[in-house]
Structure 1
Amino acid sequence: MLHLRLVAIQLLTAAILVLSASTDDSGIKTDLNALLAIKTQLVDSRADGVLASWNNSVHHCNWDGVICGNKHKRVIELDLYSRGLSGTISPFIGNLSFLNTIALFNNSLYGHIPPEIGRLFRLQRLGLFNNTLVGEIPANLSGCINLQILSLAWNRLHGNVPIELGGLSNLEAIAFQRNRLTGPLFKVIQNITSLQVISAAYNEFTGNIPDSIADMKNLAMVALAENHFSGRIPPSLFNLSSLSDLDLTSNQFEGNIMSPDMHVNLPQIITLDLNLNNLTGPFPIPILNLTNLVTLGLSFNKFTGSVSFDFRHFANLFYLDLSDMNLRGDISFITTLANCSSLQTIELQRNNFTGTLPESVANFSKSLSWFSIGQNQIGGEIPAGFSSLTNLSFLFMYGNEFTGTIPDELGSLRKLEQLDLDSNKLTGIIPKSLGNLPRLSQLYLDNNRLQGSIPPDLSSCQNLLYLGLSQNDLNGTLPNALFGGSAQFLEVDLSQNQLKGSLPLDIDKQINLVRFDVSENKFSGELPNGLGKCSALEHFHIEGNSIHGSIPSSYSALSSLQTLDLSRNNLSGILPIYFSNFSLAYLNLSYNNFEGNVPEKGIYANISAVSVVGNKRLCGGIPQLHLPRCMTEDKGKNRRRMSIVLKLTIPIICAVVGLLIMAVWLYLARRRKKRDSIPSVLAMEKGILKVSYSMLLKATDEFSSSNLLGSGTFGTVFRGIIDTKMVAVKVLKLQQQGASKSFMAECKVLRNTRHRNLVKIITVCSSTDFQRNDFKALLYEFMPNGSLDKWLHESGNLSLLQRMNIAIDVAQALNYLHHENDIPIVHCDLKPSNILLDDEMVAHVGDFGLAKFFAQPGSLNQSSSIGVKGTVGYAAPEYGLGSEASTDGDIYSYGTLLLELMTGKRPTNQMFEADFNLHMYAKEALPDQVLQIVDPTIEHHDFTEEVDDRRAIQDMAERRVECMVSMVGVGVACSNHLPQDRMKIHEAIRTLRAARDKLINVNRSQLHH
């Protein structure tokens, strides 16, 4: 009997082992199938990327990004973060039942979060942040009962947080920031006492913070900035001893947050940011006892009372913002900030501080980069001690009572980018030493009592964009060097001074100028003809001077003008009819000597926006102008004048035509004579090298592969050196059908165009006297930084500002080709590989092998509909239906290029299939989720290294987002399916320039108000 019992036990044990092994094998197979299903919905942007190892050659536990447990060989972790993946998350992920970690963050995943994840009851960490996921948070996630970290930040999720998630009692951290989530957050999470991190900034959450937050005794971070939370901040929040970071910026919290005798127990607190709320009551004195603070921000609230500040014990203070609070008291407390050895930002502007600045500012932290005390009542002289703050980048002291002169020592602040001393009582001259500031981009000295002339030394400030010197007593002439130097101004305001002489002739160098105001001075002479080249000009004011002569015809190119005031001068001549075509909002031509008929269209028809009073020889116009009717005899005089002109013009035209016919005949005769000569070389410009085939062989080391720059359909490009000059040599593939036609088209275009953003052709080499076949080559100016395509898809290291400049450069080239060239040209093949970058990263459009000329404005020549019209992905959709090449087609290509420039994704990316394309991908992200689609390499590139303080970083980040939205918006508008819906190129240029202004400049109105 005992023997039988032992046998039975052995059989049962064996059965259990067999069953267990069978179960394990089944689970392993389930994991494999799930991984294969996941792979089918992912796209790997890299040829040798993470998914390359996901094949049958190795066990799936050895696949890249897959981690299995040692005991059962089941998948426990999926680590695919920052792998360049796109596509969707397969619902089969819910079959990986042993998973404890999902890390898919920092990719380009789109679509919904699969609710099947809720099956993973072992899951502890779910990281999906920084993708482009949409839809609502699945309520099924409540099934992940062991979840500790839930990170869904930086996506496009919307809707309320499911109430079911309140049952995840093990949650330690939630990260929901940068989505579109709504509803009362704390109603869901208020009972999860294990929470340590609540990060939900930049959403649309509502409701209040409940008193029960006191039960979350482990809380270390509460970050709720940029939401719609309201009500009082519960006092219990200030007694969470574990709290280190509290950021409630930009909500609707109100009321008194603490009484002066209240006990505060925040021993760990290092960040306290309550900016931009509606907090009232006495200034919260207990906050001044939190001496471990690194960041303190209380600005834009409504605290009352006078406070005696003492920061001597705040040794770690990095960022201080007490601006816009109507605080009172003597500014002398600022001396206590000398003990804050790490301080980088001081913001005390828009209060009622009085007194004088002590010389001890020289003892502030050498790390200080931002100092703002604008709009107070501080007087006395500006301390020369500022010169010891060698890292100071931003100095704002506008709107005070400062007297005396501007210290010469400020010229030693080599890192200074913005200096604003506007609206004080400063006297003396503008120091020449300010010309020593290489980074200075904004200089505001308006509304003072400065005298003397404008120092030409300011022309050395090569980055100067904004210059405000209005409302002073400046005299003398304008130094030509100021406008002819390397500075590219956006705004210049010299109004209300005593300046004299002529307006600068070098103003034509300022092609980016948006505002130019020299009103109320003593300028004379004529309007500078070169101003017509400043096509970005929006505001031009010269009223109250002694300018004479007529309005130059070149001003017809100033189509961006919004306000124009030429009043109270001595201008004469007829009124330009082209003003009727501008989008002017204000035109003042009053009190001059204009004559003749006033046009009746456009701005001239808007009686509330135009003024022509005080011009006694004007007539006509709309009735509301109350001008006399133009006399009919004037028309007779015009006809007689026209008759005389015709009598003189017709013989001249006949003579010119005759000369042209003779010249053409001589040219054709010479061409016939030299057709078979050896070898024929044509230099495109005088003084440019003439080259032969043998010279090209030597220059390129016999067209060595080491000098190969690239190869296209019709030609191969080599690097070469001719007489120490680096050139690019494009050798035509004459065996390729269409190559000769491409060669002729490119020659014709580049002979007839000159623009800084077009590739410059140097020489054409064409010969048949070789043992080889016919040889044709084009020599171009060498572009050392190669093509935009390589920068986007190989180096990936373009900053946002560089991308904006490139976008504007290309748009300017298109505008020139379409509207400013003598014969309009359609490029027909605009794409990143045809955009070349010089040594200063200026973009040049090249490869005009498919270009088409307009036979006449508004139509293309007959051959324009024949042959290739672009590259797949960039060619306009109407081309596929047989439409002729058009400027609208170029706009489509430009929009696609712009979206690729911002997203880093080619229009032929595998994620774009069927009806889903790059245009739709970008359009769906506008306007709130653009950060989810932009190339991640530009998210923080090129600004965090320059600005260290938190407020400045926040301001910069907001401006960067606005710029990205504008860039993507223009790309979407230009790449619309229907040609008539596409943005015009001049509108694109205007929008992009405005966006660039926001990126590189602090909005002055924000600083002052």
Structure 2
Amino acid sequence: MLPNVLGNLSVQLELFIISHNLIFGEIPSGIGNLISMIHLWMHGNKFTGTIPSDIGNLQKLQRLFLHNNKLSAMLPITLGNLSLVSDMHFENNRLQGTIPSSIGKCKNLNLLNLSQNNLSGPIPKQLFAISTLSISLNLAQNFLIGSLPSEVGNLVHLAELDISKNKLSGEIPSSLSSCTSLEYLHMEGNSFQGVIPTSLSSSRGIQVIDLSRNKLSGQIPNFLDKLSLMNLNLSFNDFEGEVPTKGVFANASTISIVGNKRLCGGISKLKLPRCVTKENKKMKWHLAIKILISMVCVILVVTTMSFFIFYWHKNRKKENTSRSYLRKSLLKVSHQMLLKATGGFSLANLIGVGSFGSVYKGILGEEGSIVAVKVLNLQRRGASRSFFSECETLKNICHRNLVKIITSCSSVDFHGNDFKALVYEFMPNGNLENWLHNLETDFGQVEIQNLNLLQRINIAIDVACALDYLHHCCPMLVVHCDLKPSNILFDNDMTAHVGDFGLAKFLLEQTDLKQSSSIGIRGTIGYTPPGNNNLLKFSFANICLPTFNIILMGLYYL
């Protein structure tokens, strides 16, 4: 702590610098006796309590640094007696109350920083009467209320104004344009309303404007693209209309407009919708009528074709089911063989990550067969149950539209930990989710393209055939329980295969509705069917094909 005898030092003392130490306690009140003080630097310590009111006796003081402490209570009104002070730093303390209007008497002040405190009340107009403020006025991160006074235009030499993260409201005053030297304007995190005043078009020297997280509305004014802005943040407001494309708006990295849901246009990298004019609306209406008529005609043709294609696939399915899935003995593999086949389960061979494990691409055996190895994460709850469920399911089913299992491995790794894996036939064309949504992925090197209408119909039929087999033609009824686009895989010929039977459930044909209800809710959120027990025997092939094709055609044109 500083001793109370501090005020007994020589009145000739001009410099008192004790910054960046571990001094705590209160600032001695006798400090006001050092009337010749020019520089008082006490920042970066742990001072608590109040700022002594007799600090106003230091009328020769030019720089006052009290920031980065734990000072509390109110700012003394005697600060207005420091008529020669040029820099005052009070940021990062716990100061409370209002900003004293007496600070407006500091006619030589160049910089005032009161940020990161608990100050409240309105901003006093007297602050904007200090015409010498030229470096910065920083009132950020407090609890100030009210509007920004129009007197802010008196600060014609001010370079930085930061009033962010307060509770200020009202409109942005047009007099702000009178601050002709302004370079940095931060007003984010308040409740300012209305439009951006056009008078700001005269602020030719401004470089940074941040108006984010307010309640501003209207169109983004075109004059902003003519300013020398290096960064513009208008995010999370209520702006609408077309976004300019010139000036700062020509570079997506220098602007932020997220959170404004009614904007359109702009450069392509912003990924905003096109702006709709009255002429465009009329053209779209005529186009919609033409598309509707075309869709009705095409639907009739496609519906007829779908019936024939579906029954053709169904006949092919009956021929395939007669072949035994276990026509040859399973290949025996060990943990070491799978480790070698996948390059030590390296990330370079990782092609997918699921709920219970990861899938790797591997080259197995002397023949160099390409396979997919699913390694179960036994630390996950339900992973072992998923392994046995998938083994039990895949050993009892065989169909051209189901992913074929080559073998399985239940062993231990080099550390003595349990190791379980499944080896499948490799599907080189990825899954349906990537094809539908054109997702970017780090796992594969497949070049994803859009699916045409015929491909979509064939995929739907393949999946329908697979489910029809599972629900009606198996020795025991199988419910997949997790059918979704990411579990539908494609071989070289783009034939769809249903995979991932980790959540599958066997049901006897005579199972009644009460017994089937024991399945519970299974599957992925967003793909789980409604809670109707009759759906346990639901087959995709039983969907009314005309209705299905109407939906399919609608998705195609979208």
TM-score, normalization: structure 1?
0.29
2:281 paired with 1:334: no
**Which residue in the other structure is 2:202 paired with?**
289
2:164 paired with 1:249: yes
Are the equivalent residues in 2 in contact too, given 1:502–1:525 (CA < 8 A)? no
> 1:505 is matched with which residue: 376, 388, 400?
376
2:364 paired with 1:480: no
2:217 paired with 1:304: yes
Question: 1: distance between equivalents of 2:107 and 2:358?
Answer: 69
Question: 2: distance between equivalents of 1:304 and 1:99?
Answer: 56
**Which residue in the other structure is 2:545 paired with?**
none
Instruction: Note the residue ranges of structure 1 that are not aligned, 5 or more in a row.
Output: 1-87, 362-372, 381-456, 463-468, 483-500, 511-515, 534-543, 548-566, 573-589, 595-612, 616-1009
Residue type at the aligned position of 1:351: N
Residue type at the aligned position of 2:106: I
Residues 559-578 of structure 1 aligned to structure 2 (within 5 Å) = 570=505
Q: Aligned with 2:246: secondary structure?
A: helix
**Which residue in the other structure is 2:15 paired with?**
101
Residues 131-530 of structure 1 aligned to structure 2 (within 5 Å) = 131-220=45-134, 221-259=136-174, 264-315=177-228, 317-331=229-243, 333-337=244-248, 345-356=254-265, 358=267, 377=273, 459=347, 479-480=358-359, 504-506=375-377, 525=390
Residue type at the aligned position of 1:283: I
**Which residue in the other structure is 1:1002 paired with?**
none
Residues 842-881 of structure 1 aligned to structure 2 (within 5 Å) = none
Q: Deviations over 1:558-584 (max 9, x none)?
A: xxxxxxxxx986599xxxxxxxxxxxx
Residues 522-671 of structure 1 aligned to structure 2 (within 5 Å) = 525=390, 546=481, 570=505, 591-592=518-519
Are the equivalent residues in 2 in contact too, given 1:242–1:268 (CA < 8 A)? yes
> 2:37 is matched with which residue: 123, 145, 158?
123
Residues 344 and 125 of structure 1: CA distance in aligned 2, closer, same or farther (over 3 Å)? farther
Q: Deviations over 1:769-824 (max 9, x none)?
A: xxxxxxxxxxxxxxxxxxxxxxxxxxxxxxxxxxxxxxxxxxxxxxxxxxxxxxxx
Q: Aligned with 2:199: secondary structure?
A: helix
Q: CA deviation at 1:477?
A: 11
Are the equivalent residues in 1 in contact too, given 2:357–2:376 (CA < 8 A)? no
Q: Aligned with 1:157: secondary structure?
A: coil
Question: 2: distance between equivalents of 1:197 and 1:338?
Answer: 32
Are the equivalent residues in 1 in contact too, given 2:119–2:143 (CA < 8 A)? yes
Q: CA deviation at 1:234?
A: 1.0
Residue type at the aligned position of 2:36: R
Are the equivalent residues in 2 in contact too, given 1:161–1:188 (CA < 8 A)? no
Question: 2: distance between equivalents of 1:129 and 1:321?
Answer: 32
Q: Deviations over 1:973-999 (max 9, x none)?
A: xxxxxxxxxxxxxxxxxxxxxxxxxxx
Are the equivalent residues in 2 in contact too, given 1:525–1:546 (CA < 8 A)? no
Q: Aligned with 2:152: secondary structure?
A: helix
**Which residue in the other structure is 1:719 paired with?**
none
Are the equivalent residues in 1 in contact too, given 2:80–2:105 (CA < 8 A)? yes
Are the equivalent residues in 2 in contact too, given 1:272–1:296 (CA < 8 A)? yes
**Which residue in the other structure is 2:334 paired with?**
none
Residues 113 and 334 of structure 1: CA distance in aligned 2, closer, same or farther (over 3 Å)? farther
Question: 2: distance between equivalents of 1:268 and 1:349?
Answer: 29
2:14 paired with 1:91: no
Question: 2: distance between equivalents of 1:236 and 1:264?
Answer: 11
Q: Deviations over 1:919-946 (max 9, x none)?
A: xxxxxxxxxxxxxxxxxxxxxxxxxxxx
**Which residue in the other structure is 1:770 paired with?**
none
Are the equivalent residues in 2 in contact too, given 1:591–1:614 (CA < 8 A)? no
Q: CA deviation at 1:345?
A: 4.0
Q: CA RMSD in A?
A: 4.6
Question: 2: distance between equivalents of 1:461 and 1:226?
Answer: 49
Question: 2: distance between equivalents of 1:159 and 1:461?
Answer: 63
Q: Aligned with 1:116: secondary structure?
A: helix
Are the equivalent residues in 1 in contact too, given 2:242–2:275 (CA < 8 A)? no
Residue type at the aligned position of 2:200: I
Q: Deviations over 1:270-305 (max 9, x none)?
A: 110111111122322222432322220111222232
Residue type at the aligned position of 1:197: L
Question: 2: distance between equivalents of 1:523 and 1:165?
Answer: 78
Question: 2: distance between equivalents of 1:293 and 1:458?
Answer: 51
Are the equivalent residues in 1 in contact too, given 2:172–2:197 (CA < 8 A)? yes
Q: CA deviation at 1:545?
A: 6.7
Question: 2: distance between equivalents of 1:152 and 1:358?
Answer: 47
Question: 2: distance between equivalents of 1:179 and 1:253?
Answer: 21
Residues 475 and 177 of structure 1: CA distance in aligned 2, closer, same or farther (over 3 Å)? closer
Q: Aligned with 2:238: secondary structure?
A: coil
Question: 1: distance between equivalents of 2:187 and 2:114?
Answer: 15
Are the equivalent residues in 2 in contact too, given 1:275–1:298 (CA < 8 A)? yes
Question: 2: distance between equivalents of 1:523 and 1:130?
Answer: 63
Residues 286 and 461 of structure 1: CA distance in aligned 2, closer, same or farther (over 3 Å)? farther
Q: Aligned with 1:213: secondary structure?
A: helix
Q: CA deviation at 1:195?
A: 1.9
Q: Deviations over 1:374-417 (max 9, x none)?
A: 8x65699xxxxxxxxxxxxxxxxxxxxxxxxxxxxxxxxxxxxx
Q: CA deviation at 1:158?
A: 0.7
Residues 105 and 379 of structure 1: CA distance in aligned 2, closer, same or farther (over 3 Å)? farther
Are the equivalent residues in 2 in contact too, given 1:282–1:305 (CA < 8 A)? yes
Are the equivalent residues in 1 in contact too, given 2:206–2:227 (CA < 8 A)? yes
Question: 1: distance between equivalents of 2:18 and 2:171?
Answer: 43
Question: 2: distance between equivalents of 1:592 and 1:192?
Answer: 78
Residues 302 and 354 of structure 1: CA distance in aligned 2, closer, same or farther (over 3 Å)? closer
Are the equivalent residues in 2 in contact too, given 1:354–1:378 (CA < 8 A)? no
Are the equivalent residues in 2 in contact too, given 1:157–1:181 (CA < 8 A)? yes
Residues 827-976 of structure 1 aligned to structure 2 (within 5 Å) = none
Identity rate of aligned residues, in percent? 22
Residue type at the aligned position of 1:352: K
Question: 2: distance between equivalents of 1:228 and 1:99?
Answer: 37
Residues 141 and 285 of structure 1: CA distance in aligned 2, closer, same or farther (over 3 Å)? same
Question: 2: distance between equivalents of 1:522 and 1:268?
Answer: 70
Residues 319 and 107 of structure 1: CA distance in aligned 2, closer, same or farther (over 3 Å)? farther
Residue type at the aligned position of 1:348: I
The number of equivalent residue pairs is 330
Higher relative contact order (CA 8 A, sep 6+): 2
Residue type at the aligned position of 2:170: G
**Which residue in the other structure is 1:425 paired with?**
none
Are the equivalent residues in 2 in contact too, given 1:111–1:133 (CA < 8 A)? yes
Question: 2: distance between equivalents of 1:545 and 1:160?
Answer: 69
Are the equivalent residues in 1 in contact too, given 2:103–2:127 (CA < 8 A)? no
Question: 2: distance between equivalents of 1:525 and 1:568?
Answer: 8
Q: Aligned with 2:72: secondary structure?
A: strand
